[in-house]
Amino acid sequence: MPKKLRPQDITILLVRPRYPGNIGSTCRVLKNMGLTKLHLVRPSVLPTHPESLRLAVGAADLAKKAKVFGTLEEATQGLRYLIGTSRRTGKYRRDFVNLPELGTKLPIGQKVGILFGSEEKGLTNKELAVCHLVTTIPSNPDYPSLNLAQSVAVVAYQLRLLMQAGLPAIEGKTFELASVEEVEGMFQHLEKALSAIGFLEHKNAFHLMRTIRQLFGRTQMNDREVRIFRGICRQVLWATKKEPLSK
Amino acid sequence: MPKKLRPQDITILLVRPRYPGNIGSTCRVLKNMGLTKLHLVRPSVLPTHPESLRLAVGAADLAKKAKVFGTLEEATQGLRYLIGTSRRTGKYRRDFVNLPELGTKLPIGQKVGILFGSEEKGLTNKELAVCHLVTTIPSNPDYPSLNLAQSVAVVAYQLRLLMQAGLPAIEGKTFELASVEEVEGMFQHLEKALSAIGFLEHKNAFHLMRTIRQLFGRTQMNDREVRIFRGICRQVLWATKKEPLSK
């Protein structure tokens, strides 16, 4: 019996959306598909802008309760698994899934955030690096650039199917995932430790960290695993005399 | 080996679209999904209206070659299978399929038209009666009314998946379907014959004809079957002395 995806576990995040119409259209289609949680990171206007409300039509309630944040970090607090949407699948972005197969990767019963970038450039590399997974909407290679609200529509439709039909069972994915903040804290700890051993003096340090982030992102770490890795980092920092072990 | 749906076999029809923005957004998302054929029936403005072109962005080519018609009949000439989109699944509309299962109903290698109604009311009952099948986008029962261009986006995405992954094989569906005009001609012949025998004097004549249309629509008739039924109609009209048999 597949477990159903629950709407309350999904948060849609628009990162730096520029056109109020896209914010309103996003509200409308999210409500159409039974989704209710919308976070906006540095939007050009508030979701209650008249043009946004005009396009939200019957979903003004969603526009009014959408949350606005100054940073992506704040907007993702409490979420356990972040999925970026991007049509670029560069060589450093191996942990990606085609949208129709998204259900095979969603952790059951966890708080999931789905990120959409700005109309002009999409998500930046830095924003994508924070995501555990990147998903791509299948499209015409000659003209792959979808309108923001259209992208949300297609992704929300795919999520609706998963809410109705259920997720494919994933073995061993029923533990509690570590939160985004916990994993981020671990990465920062790790970066410090890797610096301490001189590993990040390499000219490809940024790419190396990205690869490490992707590797951990893919594994969907739980609390205990995060604690273990932070223990290793502490040990490294103590061994290189940068910090006392008691910290 | 499933047969792939080909983009050239799909025509999208917007019936009485009102907002130029929706026409342009439709062009953009059709091009995103690799579709190229757009027919407009009595649109409020031409697809090359400035607001339409603004939202078409890189799909102005599609807006420019979209065809405009005065009637649905003209717009569907040459098509063999018509699919209406509607969120109403009233008791007289039994031949409907949920969008995710659309692939199980598409006749292979045939010219298919997919109809979208106006922003306000969708397709009329009369327009739906001409369709062989009605498809519905799964949505929130509390707020099921999607924006027109968002509906097109979701349907076009589903078609893209079928173009990429292939259609499920349907047994016995490889014959040449009768054209929409041929079947329509048969229905008119049938109506004449049924009138001749007094069958359509019934107060539910409209509903009866709709049910008959649905039954035949569901069966996906080929040329030969249409000829057989027209033969029966001729015979009825001759037997009731309304027309000579030679006609």
Whether the CB of A31 is below 8 Å from some CB of chain B: the reply is yes
Does A146 contact B29 at a Cβ distance shorter than 8 Å? yes
Q: Which residue is closest to A61 within chain B, CA to CA?
A: B143
pLDDT tens, N- to C-terminus, chain A (247 residues): 456 789 999 999 999 999 999 999 999 999 999 999 999 999 999 999 999 999 999 999 999 999 999 999 999 999 989 999 998 765 545 578 899 999 888 887 889 999 999 999 999 988 988 888 899 999 999 999 999 999 999 999 999 999 987 655 443 344 567 788 888 888 888 888 888 877 777 677 777 777 777 767 666 677 777 877 788 788 778 877 777 765 4
Does A160 contact B147 at a Cβ distance shorter than 8 Å? no
In chain B, which residues have their Cβ closer than 8 Å to the Cβ of A8?
none
Number of H-type helices and E-type strands within chain A: 9, 7
Whether the CB of B29 is below 8 Å from some CB of chain A: the reply is yes
Q: Which residues, numbered 113 to 142 in chain B, qualify as contacts with chain A under a Cβ-Cβ cut-off of 8 Å? A: 137-140
Q: Could you tell me if A43 and A82 are in contact, meaning their C-beta atoms sit under 8 angstroms apart? A: no
Nearest to B157 among A34, A144, A154 (CB): A154
Residue B154 CB neighbours (<10 A): 26
pLDDT tens, N- to C-terminus, chain B (247 residues): 456 789 999 999 999 999 999 999 999 999 999 999 999 999 999 999 999 999 999 999 999 999 999 999 999 999 989 999 998 765 545 578 899 999 888 887 889 999 999 999 999 988 988 888 899 999 999 999 999 999 999 999 999 999 987 655 443 344 567 788 888 888 888 888 888 877 777 677 777 777 777 767 666 677 777 877 788 788 778 877 777 765 4
Whether the CB of A33 is below 8 Å from some CB of chain B: the reply is yes
Domains of chain B, residue spans: 7-165, 180-239
Structure tokens at B130: 């001409």
Nearest to B146 among A32, A34, A165 (CB): A32
Q: What does the alpha-carbon distance between residue B175 and residue A213 come to, in Å, rounded to a whole number?
A: 54
Top-tier CATH class for A7-165: alpha beta
Taking CA atoms, A177 is separated from A6, A39, B197, in Å, by: 16, 21, 72
Q: Which residues, numbered 56 to 115 in chain A, qualify as contacts with chain B under a Cβ-Cβ cut-off of 8 Å? A: 57-59, 100
In DSSP notation, A183-215 reads HHHHHHHHHHHHHHTTGGGSTTHHHHHHHHHHH
Q: What does the alpha-carbon distance between residue B164 and residue B7 come to, in Å, rounded to a whole number?
A: 10
Arch. (CATH architecture) of B180-239? Orthogonal Bundle (1.10)
Taking CA atoms, B109 is separated from B4, B155, B163, B175, in Å, by: 9, 19, 12, 9
pTM, rounded to two decimals: 0.75
In chain A, which residues have their Cβ closer than 8 Å to the Cβ of B57?
145, 147
Does A137 contact B157 at a Cβ distance shorter than 8 Å? yes
Nearest to A59 among B57, B143, B149 (CB): B143
pLDDT, tens digit (0-9, with 9 covering 90-100), for B117-144: 999 999 998 898 888 889 999 999 999 9
Distance of CA B44 to the CA centre of its chain: 21
Nearest to A58 among B57, B137, B143 (CB): B143
Q: Which residue is closest to A101 within chain B, CA to CA?
A: B161
User: What are the backbone dihedrals phi and psi of residue B245, each rounded to the nearest 5 degrees, phi first?
Assistant: -65, -25
- Closest-CA residue to B168 (of B97, B244, B71, B88): B97
ipTM value for the complex? 0.72
